[in-house]
Chain A
Amino acid sequence: MKWDEFFVTGEPMIYGAMASIVLVTIAIIVGLTYFKKWGYLWREWLTTVDHKRIGVMYIISALIMLFRGGVDAMLMRAQTAVPENKLLDAQHYNEIFTTHGLIMILFMAMPFIIGIMNVVVPLQIGARDVAFPRLNAISFWLFFTGAMLLNLSFVIGGSPDAGWSAYFPLASLEFSPTVGNNYYSLALQISGIGTLLTGINFIVTILKMRAPGMKLMRMPMFTWSSLITSVIIAFAFPVLTVALALMMFDRIFGSQFFTMSNGGMDMLWANLFWVWGHPEVYIVILPAFGIYSEIIATFSKKNLYGYTSMVVSMVVISLLSFLVWAHHFYTMGQGAMVNGFFSITTMAISVPTGVKIFNWLFTMRKGKITFTTPMLYSLAFIPIFTIGGVTGVMLAMASADYQYHNTMFLVAHFHYVLIPGTVFAVIAGFHYWFPKVFGFKLNERLGKHAFWWIAISFNVTFFPLFFLGLQGMTRRMYTYSAETGFGPLNLISFAGALGLAFGFIILVYNIYYSIRYSPRETDGDPWDARTLEWATSSPIPAYNFAVTPNVKGRDALWSAKHDNQPIFDGKIEPIHLPSNSGKPVILGGVFFVFGFALVFSWWIPAIISGIAILIVLASMSFDRDHGITVSVEEIMETEKKLRGETL
């Protein structure tokens, strides 16, 4: 391989990206050295096994990926804003819509959700940490490795270009000869292993680490949604693991799974991909439902309406999510019976989802609603998501789908479910739990400005796409002629995208502004909330709760505040905490080398780093580390400091 094949060349925008990557890297290294922060970074963050810090690292990575995926989105909208635009060529456009999808789903939505789960779930169930803290750190570093590997493809070797669903034969070596889809299979594989481990970790945490009295049906709704999502992860991700492995074998080792000759079957990929891919949609949407349930109950000053039906509907959704995958390819000729079956299961999902929508509405009924930023996002979610849901039922009808399939109508539909569903939820959750983690709120005035920009611009961007789809504009078209008449609506959509970008800029500015100027909270419960995570101080001490909480009902904190049911009626006892470890981040690094070497089929580095992975794992197994014990005096001292008392 020659150097000009190794680096992506010939595109001014990519040269710009390379230059900015190098500059940012130098800036980070110089900054860390100048402010003498290397030790701090290593001790407090890179080696941490604390669920809150890992959660924060997930969320920071997700925000960076949101920016990267957002730039991709802006480029796409800019390219299609006017007919015959020359901003991007076809290949570059293909790479951008592929990485936009991958990054937004797998490296933005997933880690944002998992980050919030990490921060919130152990607190909501009154635990000291997750069940396996070091495994949790491994999960994070594997996710991060996968994300970096995929982003690197942009400047080294070329990005995947066969769509985020990477259908065969298009994604085969024959039709995608660059290393782009090798990156796809390896980056997703590595981060997918991390996600699977997270799923297992949270199932055990939620089932086995709950505080005394926290029965399953007393758990906060976000914890319920995290449990169900974790179960879906544990059973859906192995399918992705296999699909990606087969893709890698086809592309790198010449096997014949999805080829056009020697018996290969390209539709096998589509089936395997969506057997994972559709549950994946619910993996990112169920925790979002959980976040909305918490926020709506808190800011309506009422308990959640229909708790049991909320749980049952999530369980039903999780089961149905495994039975709908073929609706992604009604038009690929599997016959009327199969299409009919999947049509019915798909429409059936709208029933439990509808139950949830009504439960939220009834939670608000006669409530004392306060319009905070997180509540605004939750309120906007309900009508916008319903549009997404209704168009989803339109798409679910197999015979009608022949009209909409792979048009912009579909693109509009899934953005109408994923953005108000997941993105609004993680932003709402971010504003809601921010004071818990950092001890101060994000500025409400700026937060509301950002909200109105984002909510309105979202509709301006994506509503026109429904009509473009019905007029026949297919997705993934990199340009079109003026005679098609697609121009004006696309231009409106581009204007909306600019508004969305501006909204997100305000949101980021708000983080900076609030760090500098926001008044610091003195009490752990700034929103007058209901669940256990608000019962400890903010910022949260490493051990979460000085005394193990004793839960006597749903909405434990609310009962403590209003019905005089104390949560902390025990004594302070010494607390055992896991100690930090540098091995997870080293494992991530070794996996990075391994993945990168396999992408380019460099066998010797791949074998060496493969052995190195085993060595790091073995050295973890031989570790005889029993953690640290925090004494009663230390706990009392920390608690006093957190309450602002002088020592």
Chain B
Amino acid sequence: MKIDATKPLEYGSEENSNKIFGFWIFLGAEIALFSTLFTVYFVLVNRYATGPNGTELFELSGVLWETFLLLSSSFTIGLAVHSMRLGLKKPMMIFFGLTLLMGLGFLGIEITEFFTYVHEGATISTSAFTSSLFVLLGTHGAHVSFGILWGASILLQVKRQGFTLATANKSFIFSLYWHFLDVVWIFIFSFVYLKGLM
């Protein structure tokens, strides 16, 4: 396998740079997926029938904490990749671990919010509005959950093997994924929560 020393390790072989390029295309497909979900949400947002609407349902405090955690985790995963490029294994693992912990915190608050919604009588089958809300948030949350499991397995591999072509590549791709989830959340925060509260 040819290793190109002029590039960062994660781009170090042809296979690695193909994987990163492929993942960008996958993120393109993910954008198509979330755009469709947002469209569905916008189409159905005012069709809340006899159930609650967004203004009645949403509360800002939890959402702000979620936003704070997820945006910070995007920062720490950036620091993790930066440490990786400097070849610092321990700081990389700490920042990577912090990222996952904040992801877990985000998920905890989101699940609590879901319970509150259900408690207030807004289940997935209450109205078209609540269906689209739960599925949009749930798809994002499922991505975060999958990301936490995936990230944990990468962290374990970095711990065992150190920085290799494979682990550096995986860590970098994971950071792309994590930033993407952050971008989606910014749209959810702006167009679901803030707009709903107005």
Is B33 interfacial (CB-CB < 8 Å)? yes
B36 touches A263 (CB 8 A): no
A-B contact pairs, 7 of them (CB 8 A): A131-B18, A132-B19, A196-B29, A208-B21, A254-B125, A264-B128, A621-B170
Among the 9-residue stretches A158-166, A238-246, A324-332, the one with 4 or more Cβ atoms under 8 Å from chain B is A238-246
Among the 9-residue stretches A144-152, A197-205, A356-364, A495-503, the one with 4 or more Cβ atoms under 8 Å from chain B is A197-205
Q: Which residues of B contact A263 (CB under 8 A)?
A: 44, 47-49, 127-129
Q: Which residues of B contact A201 (CB under 8 A)?
A: 22
Is A612 interfacial (CB-CB < 8 Å)? no
Is B149 interfacial (CB-CB < 8 Å)? yes
Q: Give the distance to chain B from A561, nearest Cβ to Cβ, in Å.
A: 31
B25 touches A255 (CB 8 A): no
Q: Which residues of A contact B128 (CB under 8 A)?
A: 256-257, 259, 262-265
The residue from B22, B49, B166 contacting A261, defined by CB atoms under 8 A apart: B49
Q: Give the distance to chain B from A578, nearest Cβ to Cβ, in Å.
A: 10
Q: Which residues of A contact B51 (CB under 8 A)?
A: 262
Closest B residue by C-beta to A240:
B36
The winner among A235, A238, A272 for most chain B CB atoms within 10 A is: A238
The winner among B1, B29, B130 for most chain A CB atoms within 10 A is: B29
Is B184 interfacial (CB-CB < 8 Å)? no
B25 touches A203 (CB 8 A): yes
Closest A residue by C-beta to B19:
A132
For the complex, give the distance between the alpha carbons of A250 and B40 in Å. Answer: 14
Is B72 interfacial (CB-CB < 8 Å)? no
The residue from B18, B21, B135 contacting A249, defined by CB atoms under 8 A apart: B135
Is B104 interfacial (CB-CB < 8 Å)? no
The residue from B29, B139, B157 contacting A621, defined by CB atoms under 8 A apart: B157
Q: Give the distance to chain A from B90, nearest Cβ to Cβ, in Å.
A: 22
- In the complex, chain B residues 25-84 whose Cβ is within 8 Å of any chain A Cβ: 25-26, 28-30, 32-33, 36-37, 40, 43-44, 47-51
A207 touches B21 (CB 8 A): yes
Known: A255-B124, A268-B44; 19 extra A-B contacts, CB below 8 A, are: A199-B29, A203-B22, A204-B18, A204-B25, A208-B18, A234-B25, A237-B29, A238-B33, A241-B33, A242-B40, A246-B40, A257-B135, A263-B49, A264-B128, A272-B40, A614-B149, A621-B157, A621-B170, A626-B1
B49 touches A253 (CB 8 A): no
Q: Give the distance to chain A from B156, nearest Cβ to Cβ, in Å.
A: 8
For the complex, give the distance between the alpha carbons of A204 and B25 in Å. Answer: 8
Closest B residue by C-beta to A621:
B153
For the complex, give the distance between the alpha carbons of A235 and B36 in Å. Answer: 11
A242 touches B33 (CB 8 A): yes
Q: Which residues of A contact B1 (CB under 8 A)?
A: 576, 626
Is A1 interfacial (CB-CB < 8 Å)? no
B153 touches A257 (CB 8 A): no
B21 touches A204 (CB 8 A): yes
Report B's interface with A, CB cutoff 8 A. Answer: 1, 14, 17-19, 21-22, 25-26, 28-30, 32-33, 36-37, 40, 43-44, 47-51, 124-132, 134-135, 139, 149-150, 153-154, 157, 161, 166, 170
Interface residues on chain A, size class: 35 or more
For the complex, give the distance between the alpha carbons of A259 and B126 in Å. Answer: 12
Q: Which residues of B contact A235 (CB under 8 A)?
A: 28-29, 32
Q: Give the distance to chain A from B166, nearest Cβ to Cβ, in Å.
A: 7
The winner among A249, A259, A263, A264 for most chain B CB atoms within 10 A is: A263
A249 touches B124 (CB 8 A): yes
A256 touches B40 (CB 8 A): no
Closest B residue by C-beta to A235:
B32
Q: Which residues of B contact A234 (CB under 8 A)?
A: 25, 28-29, 32
Q: Give the distance to chain B from A613, nearest Cβ to Cβ, in Å.
A: 11
For the complex, give the distance between the alpha carbons of A257 and B44 in Å. Answer: 8
Q: Which residues of B contact A40 (CB under 8 A)?
A: none
Is A175 interfacial (CB-CB < 8 Å)? no
For the residues of B in contact with A, the DSSP-based class is helix
Q: Give the distance to chain B from A278, nearest Cβ to Cβ, in Å.
A: 15
Known: A234-B28, A239-B36, A255-B124. A265 touches B47 (CB 8 A): yes
- In the complex, chain A residues 593-621 whose Cβ is within 8 Å of any chain B Cβ: 614, 618, 621
The residue from B132, B150, B166 contacting A257, defined by CB atoms under 8 A apart: B132
For the complex, give the distance between the alpha carbons of A626 and B13 in Å. Answer: 13
B126 touches A200 (CB 8 A): no
For the complex, give the distance between the alpha carbons of A262 and B50 in Å. Answer: 7
A238 touches B21 (CB 8 A): no
Is A562 interfacial (CB-CB < 8 Å)? no
Q: Which residues of B contact A576 (CB under 8 A)?
A: 1
For the complex, give the distance between the alpha carbons of A243 and B33 in Å. Answer: 10
Q: Give the distance to chain B from A258, nearest Cβ to Cβ, in Å.
A: 9
Closest B residue by C-beta to A275:
B36
For the complex, give the distance between the alpha carbons of A242 and B140 in Å. Answer: 13
B47 touches A255 (CB 8 A): no
For the complex, give the distance between the alpha carbons of A552 and B83 in Å. Answer: 44
Chain B proximity mask over A394-437: 1 for CB below 8 Å, otherwise 0: 00000000000000000000000000000000000000000000
Closest B residue by C-beta to A241:
B33
Q: Which residues of B contact A254 (CB under 8 A)?
A: 124-125
Q: Which residues of B contact A34 (CB under 8 A)?
A: none
Q: Which residues of A contact B30 (CB under 8 A)?
A: 238
Q: Give the distance to chain A from B24, nearest Cβ to Cβ, in Å.
A: 9
Closest A residue by C-beta to B136:
A242
B29 touches A265 (CB 8 A): no
A624 touches B166 (CB 8 A): yes
B49 touches A262 (CB 8 A): yes
For the complex, give the distance between the alpha carbons of A318 and B51 in Å. Answer: 42
Known: A200-B25, A208-B21, A242-B36. A253 touches B153 (CB 8 A): no
Q: Which residues of A contact B49 (CB under 8 A)?
A: 256, 261-263
For the complex, give the distance between the alpha carbons of A222 and B14 in Å. Answer: 25
For the complex, give the distance between the alpha carbons of A259 and B161 in Å. Answer: 52
Chain B proximity mask over A201-241: 1 for CB below 8 Å, otherwise 0: 10110011100000000000000000000000011111101
Q: Give the distance to chain B from A170, nearest Cβ to Cβ, in Å.
A: 18
A242 touches B37 (CB 8 A): yes
Is A3 interfacial (CB-CB < 8 Å)? no
Q: Which residues of B contact A200 (CB under 8 A)?
A: 22, 25-26, 29
Q: Give the distance to chain A from B93, nearest Cβ to Cβ, in Å.
A: 17
A245 touches B135 (CB 8 A): yes
For the complex, give the distance between the alpha carbons of A208 and B17 in Å. Answer: 9
For the complex, give the distance between the alpha carbons of A621 and B158 in Å. Answer: 12
For the complex, give the distance between the alpha carbons of A208 and B21 in Å. Answer: 9
For the complex, give the distance between the alpha carbons of A313 and B30 in Å. Answer: 27
For the complex, give the distance between the alpha carbons of A450 and B154 in Å. Answer: 55
For the complex, give the distance between the alpha carbons of A275 and B40 in Å. Answer: 13
Chain B proximity mask over A251-287: 1 for CB below 8 Å, otherwise 0: 0011111010111110010001001000000000000
